[in-house]
Amino acid sequence: MPEEIYLDMKAEIESKKKKAIDELAEKWGGLSTSDCGYMAIALLADKHTTIEQMFGIIFGIHKKVGNLYSIPTLQSERDQTHVDGIDDPVPIFLYKLCIIQGDDPVKMINELRKKCGKR
Q: How many CB atoms lie within 10 A of CB 83?
A: 18
pLDDT more than 70, % of the chain = 33
Mean pLDDT of all residues belonging to the chain: 63
pLDDT, tens only, 51-86: 566 666 665 555 433 333 444 444 444 556 677 777
Residues 6+ apart with CB under 8 A from 48: 77, 78, 79, 93
Residues 6+ apart with CB under 8 A from 47: none
